[in-house]
Structure 1
Amino acid sequence: MTLKTILMGAAALALSASALAAENWKLAVTDVEGMERLQVEWGPFKDALETATGDTFEFFPVNSRTAAAEALRGKTVDFVVSGPAEYVVINKLTKATPLVGLGRPDYHCAIIVRADSGINVPADLKGKKVAFGDIGSTSNMLCPMQVLADHGVDPVNDIDKTHTSRNIAHEALKAGDIDALGANANSWLNVRNKETDLPYGFFKMIARSGDLPNDMIMVGAHVPADAAETVRTAILDNKAQIIAGITAHEENDKYVGMDLVAIQDGAYDYVRLMYANAGYPQFDNFIGD
């Protein structure tokens, strides 16, 4: 047997061992419904993930946050991209844990009023009508309610609250039909900046949160710890490529400028407090589902 034959055989064995060591994982994204949208919006991320880890990731479409939790509990999905509010419920129901944080820039919420309203601090909103965004949203509902609570205003009993879309709430505030709106600060500014017939000082923010806990990639409790750590390390070691994959589609523009960071469960205790102050102290059900 020649040396060349021996080396070729060794290479083939190494390649075979590598292939056997590769894992096949299932991946879900909680706020994206349908396989087509997953492939279009998150396909580049999946490709980057496979390149970084050497593993295979298959999309697992879910039509609700509850479906994602059930899939984790049933071990039919392994990794889930999700937001902070979804995570605390999924963690309670399934013991899934954070793997990598998706650090969104300027991710915080605010309470906005008209500048001519005479409302200057959150306490002035007691008895007033306040609009929030989607029920269960971290930055458009839970966070602004927590901001009120942080300033001594009970968001359940002290205000007349309503829920509507950000654009509708903006128009209602502009018309004086509501007294304030609570929203993701950056998202509201995007709406405000499209106004062409209002002076810059027409609105004012009277309170804002600190930066919110990160969106994340979470891992199911059934995934072996060493395998999860291998995936985490590969993601953090190849973060530029992973970030490029996430931000490749315009639907993920909220992540432009992001970082990928290691995170722990304790970072989400503030979100658990949000649930409690919004009137859902058990945080074991998805609000609005």
Structure 2
Amino acid sequence: MAVFFRRHALRGLMAFAFGCAALSAFAQTTLRVSAIPDEAPTELQRKFAPLGKYLEAELGMPVSFVAVSDYAGVVESLAAKRLDLVWLGGFTFVQAKQRTGGTAIPLVQRAEDEKFTSRFITADPAIKSLADLRGKRFAFGSPSSTSGHLMPRHFVMQAGLNPDKDFKTVAFSGAHDATVAFVQSGRADAGVLNASVWDKLVESGKVDPAKVRVFYVTPPYFDYNWTVRGDLDPALVKKLREAFLKLDPAKPAHKEILDLQRASKFIPTQASNYAGIEAAGKAAGLLD
């Protein structure tokens, strides 16, 4: 009799476990995607729309873009499992890795993100080098931005300047395009933003490089990636990685997606690529 009950209890536990797994799989009916708000919300939505449709076709499930108002909110939403896939900068990836106990998985990055740079800009003819920023009003992007704050701060400090002591004022514009607006309007004497957004603004005529010019380009570093939460279904993670890696610029529909993402192609990435950014964050006192 005892053996009979044990057998049935075991069968019950197995059925319960199978049922929980089925419910978990069933619950993943929509892929929830977001991105750090390093540009205006309307621009983020425009850039993601074709990619979202492509992922829906590749995954066979709905894909929803969830707008989040700030960088910290994206990290927290991933950690709280309210998001499944997020576009992060190198620094926000490091924060997400810490916040999730190391479980966040960086899937892919653009080929351009292997050697990413920031550009220091000004409309002041007297500013020609980082040394000339002493006593000036300066604009970073978001405090959590890799290319709009952390790495530029790192290189400024390597040049022997402390932004908090040596600049007249330090402002945070909140986004790369907003930093350009700060400099164009004279609200800041100089600022810094990532190379990709700068190039896009010049190409679209939203900034006149004859009036606002680049006076310093940083050394290269790893930056953006697409990251998933660590407990996402491994089969879904595999499909996602494959979908990004098979985007081919020779195919017109794929080229539209890649062009909007400012990517020549996507390549695999790994957490160790961002060790230098983590070290820079700790050196700047921005990470524990």
Structure 2 length-normalised TM: 0.67
**In the superposition, relative to structure 1, how do residues 219 and 140 fare at CA in structure 2: closer, same or farther (>3 Å)?**
same
Is the aligned partner of 1:272 residue 2:267? no
1:229 alignment partner AA: K
Report if the CA contact (8 A) 2:196-2:262 is conserved: no
Write out aligned runs for 1:136-285 (5 A): 136-163=144-171, 164=173, 165-171=178-184, 178-188=188-198, 190=201, 200=210, 205-225=214-234, 227-240=236-249, 244=253, 247-248=256-257, 255-276=261-282, 278-282=284-288
Change (3 A) 1:146 1:24: same
Please say if residues 142 and 149 of structure 2, whose CA atoms lie closer than 8 Å, have aligned partners that are also in contact: yes
- Counterpart residue type for residue 97 of structure 2: N
- Over the aligned positions, Cα root-mean-square deviation in angstroms equals 4.1
Counterpart check, 1:44 vs 2:57 = no
Contact kept in structure 1, 2:55 and 2:63, CA below 8 Å: no
Q: Is the 8 A contact 2:110 2:263 kept in 1?
A: no
Cα distance in 2, alignment partners of residues 161 and 244 from structure 1: 46
After superposition, the Cα gap between the structure-2 partners of 1:68 and 1:39, relative to the gap in structure 1 and judged at 3 Å, is same
SS at match of 2:163: coil
**CA displacement, residues 177-231 of structure 1 (integer Å, 9 cap, x when unaligned):** 75432233454463696677x9x4x665443113442422211111244542343
Tell me, in whole angstroms, the C-alpha distance in 1 between the residues paired with 2:206 and 2:247. Answer: 37
State the SS of the aligned residue for 2:94: helix
- Please tell me whether the aligned partners of residues 147 and 194 of structure 2 are also in contact (alpha carbons under 8 angstroms): yes
The alpha-carbon deviation at position 38 of structure 1 amounts to 8.0
Give unmatched runs, 5+ long, in structure 2: 1-24
Question: Which sections of structure 1, spanning at least 5 residues, go unmatched?
Answer: 1-19, 283-289
SS of 1:59's equivalent in the other structure is: strand
CA distance in 1, matches of 2:193, 2:42: 29
Is 2:58 the partner of 1:26?
no
Aligned partner of 1:47: which letter? K
Q: What displacement does 1:66 show?
A: 3.9
**How far has the Cα of 1:257 moved from its partner?**
4.4
Structure 1 residues 247 and 101 mapped into 2: Cα distance closer, same or farther (>3 Å)? same
TM-score, L = length of structure 1: 0.67
Measured in 2, the distance between the counterparts of 1:79 and 1:145 equals 28
How many residue pairs get matched?
250
- State the distance in 2 between where 1:195 and 1:222 align: 43
Residue pair 1:102, 1:260 contacting (<8 A) in 2 also: yes
Q: 3-state SS of the aligned residue for 2:227? A: strand
